Amino acid sequence: MATLTRPKSPRPPVSAKKDDKDESFWDKIGTLGRKKRIKEVQEVEQEGKHAIDSPGNPTNPDLAPEEYALEENEERSMLEPRAYDDPKLQELIFVLIEWINDELADQRIIVKDLEEDLYDGQILQKLLEKLNQEKLDVPEVTQSEEGQKQKLAIVLEAVNKALGLPRWSNTKWSVESIHSKNLVPILHLLVSLVRHFRAPVRLPENVSVGVVVVQKKEGSLSHRTIKEEITSTYDDLGMRCERDAFDTLFDHHPDKLQVVKKSLITFVNKHLAKVNLEVTDLDTQFHDGVFLSLLMGLVEGFFVPLHDFYLTPQTFEQKVHNVAFAFQLMQDVGLAKPKARPEDCSNFFPQK
């Protein structure tokens, strides 16, 4: 007895060829409808996720000049949208965020976006208090826009005072510009703090960005694009670290430096001898991070996987990777985070 072939789900078995064709047509329509609804749901989910996760831009780059509500002769500026793609600007932002997070690590404050996290003055207050070692008399939390601006005004006044700027000076930041999440004045402010307090970071030099300036004159709006210099070339390192025994040694007993170096070399070789290695110069043999990584494993008694770092680093980036890896090992075993940056260690060349 012949058996009927089981049709594909969810279509029921039919005998007429014409009905088969009709059913196939409506089945396709239903499938398209379901796919469209699924796509719409996915788009809504994606849009919602983006709205939650995205830090957003400080200003809308597509905002037409006509949308600015300016008074006569008033100016307003915004960063060119394409400026965000500048690698040097991205590096500057990264360095500043890392610096802020390092300074405020003991308060468990994490900055991810300069515009979104600093505009209300809350984190700026904490940062200045840490740098200046002085508590500010301002409300801890303010939700209203007016309250935020009042707090920000107090914080910026304290910043200007710490920087030694007179009240009448024309600073590159203001309450309105910071609160409106304008990246340029925020960068100017942070760079000034880094330079004044000699923070242990190295800022990328000669960072300039394009800024669109909109001005209202005689009832009409005009705009122009200018180059704004954020950082320049610095003669000094611009670095400040907590003073330790080595600072005292350099300042008061430089003649004993070679004695200390010999003691350190003896200590290092005592451990490196276990793997038949030896160093003779700390300056030239530790800047690439190879011996430093191996030393950490030997001192602490664990094996350092050789695939986690470069045994024969050829480029600056590979050396930085090695030193950063060694620093991470130090923190993993409970040591304090090193004050130096991996880039500075790898970029160090002893004077002849």
Q: In the structure, what pLDDT confidence band is assigned to residue 310 with cuts at 50, 70 and 90? A: very high
Q: Alpha-carbon distance 24 to 14, whole Å?
A: 11
Q: For residue 152, what are the CA distances in angstroms to 70, 96, 97, 156?
A: 22, 20, 19, 6
At 86-130, the pLDDT tens digits run 999 999 999 999 999 999 988 889 999 999 999 998 999 999 999
pLDDT, residue 192, reads: 92
Contact 120, 179 (CB under 8 A): yes
- Assess whether pLDDT exceeds 50 at residue 66: no
Q: In the structure, what pLDDT confidence band is assigned to residue 75 with cuts at 50, 70 and 90? A: confident
Determine the Cα angle at 59 with ends 56 and 65, to 5°. 150
Q: In the structure, what pLDDT confidence band is assigned to residue 51 with cuts at 50, 70 and 90? A: very low
Q: Alpha-carbon distance 79 to 58, whole Å?
A: 9
Mean pLDDT of 282-304: 90
Contact 124, 159 (CB under 8 A): yes
Lowest mean pLDDT, pick from 8-12, 94-98, 325-329: 8-12
Q: In the structure, what pLDDT confidence band is assigned to residue 17 with cuts at 50, 70 and 90? A: very low
At 217-276, the pLDDT tens digits run 877 888 888 898 998 876 544 444 455 666 666 666 777 778 888 888 999 999 999 999
pLDDT, residue 33, reads: 54
* 222 strand-pairing partners: 215
pLDDT, residue 26, reads: 52
Q: In the structure, what pLDDT confidence band is assigned to residue 344 with cuts at 50, 70 and 90? A: confident
At 149-198, the pLDDT tens digits run 999 999 999 999 888 877 766 788 999 999 999 999 999 999 999 988 88
Q: Which domains does the chain have, with CATH numbers?
A: 65-229 (1.10.418.10), 246-346 (1.10.418.10)
Q: In the structure, what pLDDT confidence band is assigned to residue 55 with cuts at 50, 70 and 90? A: very low
Q: In the structure, what pLDDT confidence band is assigned to residue 201 with cuts at 50, 70 and 90? A: confident
Cα within 13 Å of Cα(124), Cβ side: 31
Mean pLDDT taken over the chain: 78
Q: Alpha-carbon distance 339 to 126, whole Å?
A: 21
Mean pLDDT of 320-331: 90
- Dihedral over Cα of 59, 61, 66, 70: its sign: positive
User: 75: which residues sit within 8 A by CB, 6+ positions away?
Assistant: 213, 214, 215
- Assess whether pLDDT exceeds 80 at residue 53: no
Enclosing H/E stretch for 143: none
* Closest by CA position to 127, among listed 84, 87, 153, 158: 158
Q: Alpha-carbon distance 288 to 349, whole Å?
A: 11
Give the residue with greater pLDDT, 98 vs 43. 98
Q: In the structure, what pLDDT confidence band is assigned to residue 43 with cuts at 50, 70 and 90? A: low
pLDDT, residue 58, reads: 41
Q: Alpha-carbon distance 233 to 203, whole Å?
A: 10
pLDDT, residue 8, reads: 45
pLDDT, residue 80, reads: 86
- Assess whether pLDDT exceeds 70 at residue 68: no
Q: Alpha-carbon distance 324 to 327, whole Å?
A: 5
Q: In the structure, what pLDDT confidence band is assigned to residue 309 with cuts at 50, 70 and 90? A: very high
Enclosing H/E stretch for 208: strand 208-217
* Closest by CA position to 228, among listed 174, 188, 181, 173: 188
> Beta strand pairing status for 220-229 and 75-79?
unpaired
Q: In the structure, what pLDDT confidence band is assigned to residue 62 with cuts at 50, 70 and 90? A: very low
- Dihedral over Cα of 102, 103, 104, 109: its sign: negative
